[in-house]
Amino acid sequence: MNIGVNIKGDYCFTFMVQTMFINEVIQFKKSNLITYVGEAFFMNRWINDEFTPIESICLGKGTINPRKSDTKLSMQTIEKKCKMKVDIVNKRVMLSCDFTASEIMDTTEIGVKNSDGKLISHDSYAKIGSTILDNTTSTVHLDYYFSVSTGSIKGNWKVSNASKNIYRIYEPNNVVGVIENNTNSGYVRKNSINELVNGSYYYNKNTKDLYIKNSKNSDPNDDEIIVQTR
């Protein structure tokens, strides 16, 4: 059985917005890119101390799309040390820090660094401007997550609907992703069996059945299908 580990980065800005008419919390969530240096960081931290621990979150005003080869933000404007804790239940590391409205104004990119200044992850987002910040009552809170999921190649797929080439297996662990190893393509998650199209999956949390329809609309037992669980 081949088993792999996948690291995924996500972040969430939380704004407390208050005006004469509203008083609400607005959240902006997005996933980010793990750089080549970030991949080396995670792999080496498991076996040696070549890399120092994660230490800070940085923001910038660059407009270039992130690349895995990035070693710094395009135009960094601020960097802050973050608080860190481990969430064992959800298999993730949580980073958090606060920014003032002026520090976050007009920023368009975000990254995470270790204490040696190596860029672990990088992402760009729509400019955060005065439209939302003018009514922000306090600091803007940022949560950053690195989630770990494990994956293994699954076989013995059983026919669920022969006419539509839908197949299934029993998977007791919560499925968070499906990858077709032959093409390195990730499947799109659907909310029901009826929604399945080529290159998609549906996981029934009640019955623990995983249904897929591969990218070629054929028998998935001829492919290497990696099921990621958490």
- Identity of the residue numbered 12: C
Return the C-alpha torsion angle 103, 104, 106, 109, nearest 10.
120
Q: How far apart are CA 170 and CA 167, in angstroms?
A: 11
Reported as a single tens digit per residue, the pLDDT across 28-71 is 898 888 888 888 888 777 667 778 899 999 999 998 889 989 99
State mean pLDDT over 145-163.
84
Reported as a single tens digit per residue, the pLDDT across 168-190 is 999 998 888 888 876 656 788 89
Domain boundaries, the chain: 3-148, 155-229
pTM value surpassing 0.85: no
Res 3 pLDDT > 60: no
The angle subtended at Cα 161 by Cα 160 and Cα 163, nearest 5°, is 155
State mean pLDDT over 184-199.
86
Max CA separation in the chain (angstroms): 62
Give me Rg for the CA atoms of the chain.
21
- Identity of the residue numbered 230: R
